[in-house]
Chain A
Amino acid sequence: MSTNHQRTLVVVGNGMVGQRLVEALRQRDPQRRWRITVLAEEPRPAYDRVALTSYLTGTSAADLSVVPDGCYDDDCVLHLADPVDHLDRDARTVTTASGRVVAYDALVVATGSVPFVPPVPGADLDGCFVYRTIEDLDAIRDRAADTGSGVVVGGGLLGLEAANALLSLGVRTSVVEFAPRLMPAQVDQGGGEVLRRKIQELGLEARLATATERIEAADGGLRMVFADGSSLDTGLVVFSAGIRPRDELARSSGLEVGERGGIVVDDGCRTADPAIWAIGECALVRGRVYGLVAPGYDMAEVVADRLVGGDAVFAEADTSTKLKLLGVDVASFGDAHGATPDALEVVYADPVAGVYKKLVVTDDAAELLGGVLVGDASAYAALRTMVGRPLTDTPERLLMAGPATSDLGDDAQVCSCQNVTAGSIRGAIRDQGCADVAGIKACTRAGTVCGSCVPLIKTLLTQSGVVASTALCEHFDLSRAELFDVVRATELRTFSEIIAGHGRGRGCDICKPAIASILASLGAGHILDGEQATLQDTNDQFLANIQRDGTYSVVPRVPGGELTPEKLIVIGEVARDFGLYTKITGGQRIDLLGARVEQLPAIWRRLVDAGFESGHAYGKALRTVKSCVGSTWCRYGVQDSTSLAIMMELRYRGLRAPHKIKCGVSGCARECAEARGKDFGVIASENGWNLYVGGNGGFRPRHAELFASDLSTQELVRLVDRFMMFYVRTADRLQRTAAWIEALTDEHGDGLAYLRRVLVDDELGICADLDAALERHVGSYTDEWAAVLADEEKLGRFVSFVNAPDAPDPSIRFVTERGQIRPATPVSGDGPPVVAGPTLEVVR
């Protein structure tokens, strides 16, 4: 027995559920009666497996971690990459692969599950994968880089998620499903059919009622042979045909396991051995294995309670699901298949719109039992909370409009992942002062797993009368979008008038640039005219980008990345003559760094004379439209992407926006211009152009989503015009399009669908106005550099010192590295630059 009356808990497995147990016990056991040792097989601490797919679209492994800082210490130890391979129940010890022997007073098995790989010959060939861990995804991504096609075996929830992921990796993907419909566990035949049509439209091939007989190696790839004799060649195969509980430790130590696997436990999650418990996907509780995280969390809470002497029991879990696959909403909840005796089904189907909804009600239509929603699941969160309750309206009306949120009782469950009720959320708002979704998430954990209840949380917040502050800063109570409307309507055109009429004080580094940007978007002349000059951030003030040492970089526009040899030579000459550092940017142009303020006009003079203009690299404005060479040169290209990119860059150049805007045009589906990483991206199809919106590189990468397909050039430009102008008018300050669309989703259910209603169907009746505003912008564009060069007063501000206009700032020092300058470090006005390694100070 351990010292200090401390007892030892050993947890096998550090997945989502094992981790939850550790946190739950820590919370319930502040005196630390339990010492915890966690033995984990994977090489990294627990991570969010539910969000695993986001790893492929840029979320890092570190971002996925679910382990809070400070979770592990002397009393709570985690050993990674050291799986348990032996359990000795008599000695009460476990032994790990590395030979570590750990004694326990209590043992919790939280080993999760493995994907089931059907025993078909060839399933172990190179190129066959499962989809469960970060390592699996690394391997799939490597393979996908070398192949154009993939097959997912299994058309269930996880299979479709994997298929979606393959598509996002640029792999042509087919799904092979044994059942006659997709997602057989969640939806019925009607819902499955709508789902199939929708995802087929989006480029995913589905082969239903198909059994795989074997897999063979063929021509450097794989060939799948089916029971009907047909075959399919592919570069890679992902198996996602269900899960198998990892119950090896129970089996080898004589504990009971279920017929189809799973460690048998009672309602308290305890095995027949009183010292051993099992939780999560490895456990068979109440006769079933749950493949969802929420019931696993409940089991963790039950065991934590029992370990400190409680008597919690695991209650039947909610297996409702809602997800979005390739932009299609799919949800099922309660008794989705109408298994309750005499249940009635009320169905609404619109195959053209791709919507299928079904409610299952009791035979007197008085109580809701469950339902299936495909194509439009906006009513999911509210409907789910009504299961088992009297209907508040006729089933038809509930199907069409969804229930009103005010109907939610305090005991109605809002977040099924974390088991949070409407009552606890109302309590958090009332008693803990939560005023926004982030606050609710922190206080109650609601909305932190799958996020499908976030719209409902928002509604509860609004109903409670707590409105999140959207004030721009201490000087303005209005949000940026509201201020935009005010300025547009009142036609005030100076900061002093605007702040006098609608704010207080003299402004700050938040509201001044925001108003400068609004004025610029509304076409109030040059951004350095009159008082506007005092509102600009230093980058806009000097029409160049400030660097760490106080020098600036200069980026001339290179529309679409196309550059003549003559112009290329001019850039080289300018860089050489002014001693600038040159680097190619990610936006297909050339950055000239190390320019001092007083040098900028002379640099621009040379560039403007050679036909260049400002590239607005310094502005919250359109940056570049990146392109590939397209059908003009490329043997794969199907459209002239370069010409389109140049046309668009010239159309939108100079348009000031809440944040920078980056774009791309690819001439074929190979996507060499990386258009899906951009705010708007265009990808050529055989029939025209596909438009994607809301992509983002940077801090939180995100793929742009398909907004419209097979557009003519004219249709495309019209849509992008509206998209840009609507973004300019309504986004928050420093909100990129990706975040803007997410915010629209929070507000309107589905941001993209909302944008289609506004920009295509003209639901708000503003399209003509947006079109006209954009045309005004195009008509009034002038080059900001040339305008300064032609204006003596503005030129007079490009000096190093008021009393020594041409004296170079003596604190700016460079050293050379690889044949070019770089700032001497540390940047300092005092003392000589530190010269490190094989570098020399240059005197200029």
Chain B
Amino acid sequence: MTMLDVRTWTAVCRYDLLQPERGAAALVGDVQVALFRTHDGAVHALSNRDPFSGAQVLSRGIVGTRGDVPTVASPMHKQVFDLRTGVCLDEPDTAVAVFGVRVRDGVVEVSSP
């Protein structure tokens, strides 16, 4: 059986524009996405909106790890989010949206969550 990938992908920037372990914000339609390139070269895309403060700032948090989990800490009040699932590790009832993300021909593309 084949699965058809019907998501729409939007090219946002060249991969090498992303600084390792530092986020960047991108505008996809009128949605703000936070892109992160981790130390191992992977790219993650979360909603840029920090659910605790309501400000569009997650891309400006510090990237790191907790145990084996790649993380970003909100720059506002330091809650830590799992870059893979969007779940807040300090308050697991809270999560941010995760967007699909892939790199094609050196270009980062983002899809809807």
> Residues of A at under 8 Å CB distance from B?
474-475, 505-509, 512-513, 533-538, 541-542, 546, 548-550, 797, 800-804, 807, 809-812, 826-829
Q: Shortest Cβ distance from B55 into chain A, in angstroms?
A: 4
User: B53 to A537, Cβ gap below 8 A?
Assistant: no
Q: Which of A534, A546, A802 contacts B63 (CB 8 A)?
A: A534
Q: Per-position contact with A for B65-103: 1 when CB-CB < 8 Å, else 0?
A: 111001101011010100000000000000000000000
Q: Shortest Cβ distance from B2 into chain A, in angstroms?
A: 32
Measured in the bound complex, the distance between the Cα atoms of B73 and A513 in whole Å is: 12
Check if B46 is an interface residue, CB within 8 A of chain A: no
Q: Which of B22, B25, B32, B65 contacts A507 (CB 8 A)?
A: B65
Q: Which of B35, B56, B70 contacts A802 (CB 8 A)?
A: B35
User: A829 to B53, Cβ gap below 8 A?
Assistant: no
**Given the interface contacts A533-B22, A541-B60, A550-B57, does A801 sit within 8 Å of B75 by beta carbon?**
no
Q: Which of A534, A535, A809 contacts B56 (CB 8 A)?
A: A809
**Given the interface contacts A507-B64, A802-B12, does A534 sit within 8 Å of B19 by beta carbon?**
yes
**Given the interface contacts A802-B24, A827-B53, A827-B54, does A546 sit within 8 Å of B19 by beta carbon?**
no
Residue of B nearest to A550 (CB): B55
Question: For residue B44, which residues in chain A have a CB less than 8 angstroms away from its CB?
Answer: none
Cross-chain pairs A/B with CB under 8 angstroms, 5 sampled: A474-B66, A474-B67, A475-B65, A508-B65, A534-B62
**Given the interface contacts A507-B64, A508-B73, A541-B60, does A803 sit within 8 Å of B22 by beta carbon?**
no
Q: Which of B25, B54, B76 contacts A800 (CB 8 A)?
A: B25
Main secondary structure of the interface of B (DSSP, over half): strand
**Given the interface contacts A509-B80, A801-B26, A810-B30, does A829 sit within 8 Å of B20 by beta carbon?**
no
Q: Per-position contact with A for B21-61: 1 when CB-CB < 8 Å, else 0?
A: 11011110010100100110000000001000111110011
User: A506 to B21, Cβ gap below 8 A?
Assistant: yes
Q: Shortest Cβ distance from A733 into chain B, in angstroms?
A: 14
User: B27 to A538, Cβ gap below 8 A?
Assistant: no
Question: For residue A797, which residues in chain B have a CB less than 8 angstroms away from its CB?
Answer: 19
Measured in the bound complex, the distance between the Cα atoms of B26 and A809 in whole Å is: 10
**Given the interface contacts A506-B65, A550-B55, does A534 sit within 8 Å of B60 by beta carbon?**
no
Q: Shortest Cβ distance from B46 into chain A, in angstroms?
A: 14
Measured in the bound complex, the distance between the Cα atoms of B104 and A759 in whole Å is: 60
Measured in the bound complex, the distance between the Cα atoms of B13 and A322 in whole Å is: 68
User: A803 to B26, Cβ gap below 8 A?
Assistant: yes
Q: Shortest Cβ distance from B89 into chain A, in angstroms?
A: 11
User: B32 to A807, Cβ gap below 8 A?
Assistant: no
Q: Shortest Cβ distance from B60 into chain A, in angstroms?
A: 4
Question: For residue A549, which residues in chain B have a CB less than 8 angstroms away from its CB?
Answer: 55
**Given the interface contacts A538-B57, A546-B75, A801-B27, does A508 sit within 8 Å of B35 by beta carbon?**
no
**Given the interface contacts A508-B71, A546-B76, A802-B13, does A513 sit within 8 Å of B62 by beta carbon?**
yes
User: A811 to B78, Cβ gap below 8 A?
Assistant: no
User: B56 to A509, Cβ gap below 8 A?
Assistant: no
User: A505 to B64, Cβ gap below 8 A?
Assistant: yes
Pick the most buried of A509, A533, A542, A804: most chain B CB atoms within 10 A of its CB: A509
Measured in the bound complex, the distance between the Cα atoms of B66 and A665 in whole Å is: 44
Residue of B nearest to A811 (CB): B56
User: A829 to B56, Cβ gap below 8 A?
Assistant: yes
User: A546 to B57, Cβ gap below 8 A?
Assistant: yes
Q: Which of A507, A513, A538 contacts B60 (CB 8 A)?
A: A538
Q: How many residues of B are counted as interface, with CB atoms below 8 angstroms from the partner's CB atoms?
A: 38
Pick the most buried of B27, B30, B71: most chain A CB atoms within 10 A of its CB: B27
Question: For residue B57, which residues in chain A have a CB less than 8 angstroms away from its CB?
Answer: 538, 546, 550
Residue of B nearest to A823 (CB): B55
Pick the most buried of B17, B20, B57, B62: most chain A CB atoms within 10 A of its CB: B62
User: A537 to B62, Cβ gap below 8 A?
Assistant: yes
**Given the interface contacts A474-B66, A534-B63, A809-B56, does A802 sit within 8 Å of B21 by beta carbon?**
no
Measured in the bound complex, the distance between the Cα atoms of B62 and A758 in whole Å is: 37
User: B22 to A534, Cβ gap below 8 A?
Assistant: yes
Q: Which of A474, A506, A541 contacts B39 (CB 8 A)?
A: A506
Measured in the bound complex, the distance between the Cα atoms of B35 and A126 in whole Å is: 69
Question: For residue B38, which residues in chain A have a CB less than 8 angstroms away from its CB?
Answer: 506
Pick the most buried of B25, B30, B67, B78: most chain A CB atoms within 10 A of its CB: B25
- Contacts between chains A and B (CB distance < 8 A), count: 103
User: A512 to B54, Cβ gap below 8 A?
Assistant: no
Residue of B nearest to A539 (CB): B75
Question: For residue A505, which residues in chain B have a CB less than 8 angstroms away from its CB?
Answer: 64-67
Measured in the bound complex, the distance between the Cα atoms of B72 and A507 in whole Å is: 11
Question: For residue B80, which residues in chain A have a CB less than 8 angstroms away from its CB?
Answer: 508-509
User: B64 to A508, Cβ gap below 8 A?
Assistant: yes
Residue of A nearest to B13 (CB): A802
Question: For residue A534, which residues in chain B have a CB less than 8 angstroms away from its CB?
Answer: 19-22, 62-63
Question: For residue A811, which residues in chain B have a CB less than 8 angstroms away from its CB?
Answer: 32, 49, 55-56
Measured in the bound complex, the distance between the Cα atoms of B54 and A549 in whole Å is: 8
Q: Which of B13, B20, B75 contacts A803 (CB 8 A)?
A: B13
Q: Shortest Cβ distance from B73 into chain A, in angstroms?
A: 4
Measured in the bound complex, the distance between the Cα atoms of B112 and A10 in whole Å is: 68
User: A538 to B61, Cβ gap below 8 A?
Assistant: yes
**Given the interface contacts A802-B13, A809-B32, does A509 sit within 8 Å of B73 by beta carbon?**
yes
Residue of B nearest to A796 (CB): B17
Question: For residue A542, which residues in chain B have a CB less than 8 angstroms away from its CB?
Answer: 60
**Given the interface contacts A534-B20, A827-B53, does A807 sit within 8 Å of B64 by beta carbon?**
no
Question: For residue B13, which residues in chain A have a CB less than 8 angstroms away from its CB?
Answer: 802-803
User: B54 to A826, Cβ gap below 8 A?
Assistant: yes
Measured in the bound complex, the distance between the Cα atoms of B77 and A827 in whole Å is: 15
Question: For residue B54, which residues in chain A have a CB less than 8 angstroms away from its CB?
Answer: 826-829
Residue of B nearest to A804 (CB): B27
Q: Shortest Cβ distance from B76 into chain A, in angstroms?
A: 7
Pick the most buried of A513, A803, A807: most chain B CB atoms within 10 A of its CB: A803
Question: For residue A801, which residues in chain B have a CB less than 8 angstroms away from its CB?
Answer: 24-27, 32
Measured in the bound complex, the distance between the Cα atoms of B66 and A509 in whole Å is: 10
User: B78 to A509, Cβ gap below 8 A?
Assistant: yes
Measured in the bound complex, the distance between the Cα atoms of B62 and A550 in whole Å is: 15
Q: Which of B22, B27, B62 contacts A807 (CB 8 A)?
A: B27
Measured in the bound complex, the distance between the Cα atoms of B57 and A538 in whole Å is: 9
User: A548 to B53, Cβ gap below 8 A?
Assistant: yes
Q: Shortest Cβ distance from A145 into chain B, in angstroms?
A: 38
Pick the most buried of A474, A505, A802: most chain B CB atoms within 10 A of its CB: A802
Question: For residue B21, which residues in chain A have a CB less than 8 angstroms away from its CB?
Answer: 506, 534
Question: For residue A474, which residues in chain B have a CB less than 8 angstroms away from its CB?
Answer: 66-67
Q: Which of A533, A550, A827, A828 contacts B19 (CB 8 A)?
A: A533
Question: For residue B73, which residues in chain A have a CB less than 8 angstroms away from its CB?
Answer: 508-509
Q: Shortest Cβ distance from A498 into chain B, in angstroms?
A: 14
**Given the interface contacts A533-B19, A802-B13, A807-B27, does A548 sit within 8 Å of B55 by beta carbon?**
yes
Q: Shortest Cβ distance from B104 into chain A, in angstroms?
A: 15
User: A508 to B66, Cβ gap below 8 A?
Assistant: yes
Question: For residue A810, which residues in chain B have a CB less than 8 angstroms away from its CB?
Answer: 30
Q: Shortest Cβ distance from A221 into chain B, in angstroms?
A: 52
Residue of B nearest to A597 (CB): B60
Residue of B nearest to A810 (CB): B30
Pick the most buried of A535, A538, A546, A826: most chain B CB atoms within 10 A of its CB: A538
Q: Shortest Cβ distance from A798 into chain B, in angstroms?
A: 12
Measured in the bound complex, the distance between the Cα atoms of B12 and A801 in whole Å is: 9
Q: Shortest Cβ distance from A146 into chain B, in angstroms?
A: 43
Q: Shortest Cβ distance from A503 into chain B, in angstroms?
A: 11
Q: Which of B32, B49, B55, B61 contacts A509 (CB 8 A)?
A: B61
Measured in the bound complex, the distance between the Cα atoms of B44 and A214 in whole Å is: 81
Question: For residue A536, which residues in chain B have a CB less than 8 angstroms away from its CB?
Answer: 62
Measured in the bound complex, the distance between the Cα atoms of B54 and A827 in whole Å is: 6
Q: Shortest Cβ distance from B67 into chain A, in angstroms?
A: 8
Measured in the bound complex, the distance between the Cα atoms of B21 and A541 in whole Å is: 13
Q: Shortest Cβ distance from A222 into chain B, in angstroms?
A: 53
Residue of A nearest to B110 (CB): A803
Q: Shortest Cβ distance from A354 into chain B, in angstroms?
A: 47
Question: For residue A546, which residues in chain B have a CB less than 8 angstroms away from its CB?
Answer: 57, 60, 75-76
Measured in the bound complex, the distance between the Cα atoms of B49 and A548 in whole Å is: 12
Measured in the bound complex, the distance between the Cα atoms of B48 and A538 in whole Å is: 14
Measured in the bound complex, the distance between the Cα atoms of B61 and A546 in whole Å is: 11
